[in-house]
Chains A and B, each alone.
Chain A
Amino acid sequence: MTISTDLAISVSGLTKHYGTVYAVNDIDFAVKRGTVVGLLGGNGAGKTTTISMILGLRLPTRGIVRALGHDMTGADRYAALPRMNLVSPYVNLPQRLTVYQNLKVYALLYGIRGVKERLEILIDELLLAPFLNTMARKLSSRQKTRVALAKALLNQPELLLLDEPTASLDPNTGDFICGYLETCARQSGCAILIASHNMQEVERLCARILIMRGGRIHAEGTVAELGARFGRDTLEEVFLDIARAPETESRQ
């Protein structure tokens, strides 16, 4: 089997079920290097499970999942993991460490060289200086998101997985994060997969969008393509059409 080297993520026939419940059901998609792809879907659509399988944290029931050309279901994943990273509201940083201590520990864990310089860049870009010596447990939601993003960018990943990065953020902070991710994707050329409920954020950042429902990908394309296919003006309307369609409707 030939493995395309210009793909950051390649998923084929990916399925994960727990007994009779299918969290992810036979999905196929690919993310090219240097592109930003959105993974939309309601609660329980299978976004987080998909991301977990891309990271190799959950084993698929069947199907193929590759990241940066490596099979993520076996030991080969350790070749890809140092080149990728994750931001998720479900993953907390060590709570008794300050922001700076957390970043330093993670930088060492990732084995990066020039820790001090890398930290200075991220502190400056993500405006972390005012709360650098604050314990992680005392951070507000917006501060936590910025710190989590800084942690994820420490190793300058080629593939960044963002699981609801702007959940519970005010519009101002959400806009800052979006702007930063836009710049980051453009300058570093890393591939980004964003799982989100925030339509504006996805519309702004993503070149292509996958909409999941009940563990399946029900629609994919650019914002314009999806709008044309569903006869809608906004992504939110497309999303609501898919979310409210009867369960038996076939995959489009």
Chain B
Amino acid sequence: MTAPFDPSAELAQSAFAGRRLCAILLRHLYVMRTSWPRIIEMAYWPTMQMILWSFTSQFFRGHSSWVAQAAGVLVGAVLH
């Protein structure tokens, strides 16, 4: 038998879940605040990926058909 729907219990449950989510975010924020390599790393790797992909897709644009270029455009769009 399923339990009857209790809106107040549902609300309390979602508030609890929200607090737990907040705890996890706070934990990561505290760690990042005291560690500048982590903050730099967060920007460094995506930047590297974008530069690398830009060069790669630029190379393909000049050396392949429009079908091959389409994949590059799509991934480029995702990255941006």
Interface set of A (CB-CB < 8 Å, partner B):
94, 96-98, 101, 104-109, 111, 135
Contacts and interface: CB of A to CB of B under 8 A. Distances in A.
7 contacts: A96-B31, A96-B34, A97-B27, A98-B30, A107-B23, A108-B23, A109-B24
Nearest to A112: B19
Contacts, number: 34
What 4 pairs across the A-B complex have the smallest Cβ distances?
A108-B23, A111-B16, A109-B23, A101-B30
Nearest to A104: B26
A105 B30 contact: yes
Chain B: interface residue count, which band?
A: 10 to 19
A105 B23 contact: yes
B64 interface: no
A165 B24 CA distance: 27
Contact of B22 (A96, A98, A108): A108
B65 interface: no
Instruction: Determine the main DSSP class of B at the interface with A.
Output: helix
A109 B20 contact: yes
A108 B19 contact: yes
B66 to A, nearest CB: 50
Contact of B30 (A97, A109, A111): A97
Contact of A111 (B19, B26, B27, B34): B19
Nearest to B31: A96
A98 B34 CA distance: 10
Contacts of B22: 108
A105 B26 contact: yes
A111 B24 CA distance: 12
Contacts of B2: none
A107 B23 CA distance: 8
Contacts of A101: 26-27, 30
A1 B23 CA distance: 39
B30 to A, nearest CB: 5
A97 B20 contact: no
A108 to B, nearest CB: 3
Contacts of A107: 23
A218 to B, nearest CB: 42
A94 B27 CA distance: 9
A101 B30 CA distance: 7
